Amino acid sequence: MTATDRERIQGLLAEGWRLLKAGQPREAALVFGRVALVEPTRAEALRGLASARAAVTESERRSDERLDEARRALENGDKAAAQAALEAVIAEGGDRDRAAVLLDRLDPREGRLHPRASADTPTDLAALAPAPTSSWTRHLFAAACTTGLTVLGLGVFASWDRLLFGLTRPPAPRSDATAAPVAPTSGERALAQARRLMEAGNPAAAVAALDRVGPQEPAYPFARQLRHQAVRALQGEHPAARSGGETR
């Protein structure tokens, strides 16, 4: 490994710690995992990967707690507390799908802007009655969150491409002998198999494949992220049953 390669790896490590301190553990895990793939024995990369993985677990735990808090607040009729909890989930990059379902429950009118006049209400009074405020505030909030997350994602990916340029370039030719290709680890093979199973519409088999990836594997954070998507896909097979349970 040349001095330039070592300098680039050190830059990746610094970027990983910066992302972790900025509250972006998933992006930090990707950076540390990339370094661990190049140098599996690099202590700082393994330490950063463990810290990022712990932060991701804690973030998911807080997100689940806030979603439960929002659901209880909705059941008790406290819409202000429910909206505050859901805003925190979205701001921290939590489960936006579940948050969106609960946000829809904040507006029981289902998009109707003007109430139907009662048969007992005089025509003059019905015409003078003010129309209720529409749900445009909620839609503006959702649009603002989407725009902010998109801008943040573009910045992360731009920085990612710049930092990985040196690691993704083909190696310089060697005059003595051609280096043998590095065989993928068992964790990388399980991750590739799980991706194929997800594309084939079999999330249950994908979860089983991802469970074979141990915490010591460099591919572990990627496997946990894909497993979370597979579990969500399994839960999405019976949305009506879950929706009915939440409504009750």
pLDDT in tens, the chain (248 residues): 688 888 888 899 999 999 988 888 888 889 999 888 888 888 898 998 999 899 888 888 888 888 888 888 888 888 888 888 888 888 777 777 887 888 887 766 544 444 444 444 444 433 334 444 444 445 545 555 565 555 555 554 455 555 455 554 555 555 444 445 567 788 888 888 989 988 888 888 888 888 888 888 888 888 888 888 888 888 876 554 455 554 44
Measured CA angle at 165 (ends 41, 29), to 5 deg: 45
Residue pair 185/169 in contact (Cβ under 8 Å)? The answer is no
Domain membership flag for residue 104: no
What is the residue range of 218's domain?
184-238
* Amino acid code (one letter) for 31: V
Query: Structural domain tally of the chain?
Result: 1
Domain membership flag for residue 212: yes
Hunting for tokens 């929002």 — which residue is that?
70
Domain membership flag for residue 146: no
State if pTM tops 0.85.
no
* Amino acid code (one letter) for 137: T
Domain membership flag for residue 234: yes
Domain membership flag for residue 226: yes
Q: Which of 113, 166, 115 is nearest to 139 (CA)?
A: 113
